[in-house]
Amino acid sequence: MVQNAHITLYGHSRSPFCHRVHLALEEAKADYTFYAVDIRDQPLMAWYAETINPVGKQIPAITYGPKGDPRNPAPESAAINESLVILEFLADVFPEAHLLPVDPILRARVRLFINTVESKLVEGFRQFFFAYTPGADAVLLSGFEAIQALLPPTGFAAGEWSLADIAAAPFTAWVYLMLEHDLGPFPAGEGLRLFELLKSPKFARLLAYIEEVQERPSFKRTFWGKDLTIEFWRADSRFQRQ
Ligand SMILES: N[C@@H](CCC(=O)N[C@@H](CS)C(=O)NCC(=O)O)C(=O)O
DSSP string, 139-197: HHHHHHHHHHHHS-SSSBTBBB--HHHHHHHHHHHHHHHHHHTT-SSSPTTHHHHHHHH
- The answer to whether residues 134 and 189 belong to one domain is yes
Contact between residue 24 and residue 163 where contact means Cβ atoms under 8 Å apart: yes
* Confidence check: pLDDT of 56 > 80: no
Q: Which of 65, 97, 129 is the last residue of a domain?
A: 97
Distance 154 CA to ligand 1 centre (A): 32
**164-209 pLDDT, tens digit each:** 999 999 999 999 999 999 999 999 999 999 999 999 999 999 999 9
Q: Indicate if ligand 1 lies below 6 Å from the C-beta of 82.
A: yes
CATH number at residue 23: 3.40.30.10
Greater confidence (225 vs 126) lies with: 126
- The answer to whether residues 45 and 133 belong to one domain is no
- The answer to whether residues 10 and 72 belong to one domain is yes
Mean local confidence (pLDDT), 42-49: 95
* 200 within a domain of the structure (yes/no): yes
* 120 within a domain of the structure (yes/no): yes
Greater confidence (13 vs 150) lies with: 150
Q: Indicate if ligand 1 lies below 6 Å from the C-beta of 57.
A: yes
Distance 60 CA to ligand 1 centre (A): 7
> What per-residue confidence (pLDDT) applies to 24?
98
Q: Which of 63, 97, 131 is the last residue of a domain?
A: 97
- The answer to whether residues 114 and 225 belong to one domain is yes
**How far is residue 6's CA from residue 122's CA, in Å, rounded to a whole number?**
30
Q: Which of 97, 126, 158 is the last residue of a domain?
A: 97
Q: Indicate if ligand 1 lies below 6 Å from the C-beta of 17.
A: yes
* 1 within a domain of the structure (yes/no): no
Distance 201 CA to ligand 1 centre (A): 34
Range of the domain at 82: 6-97
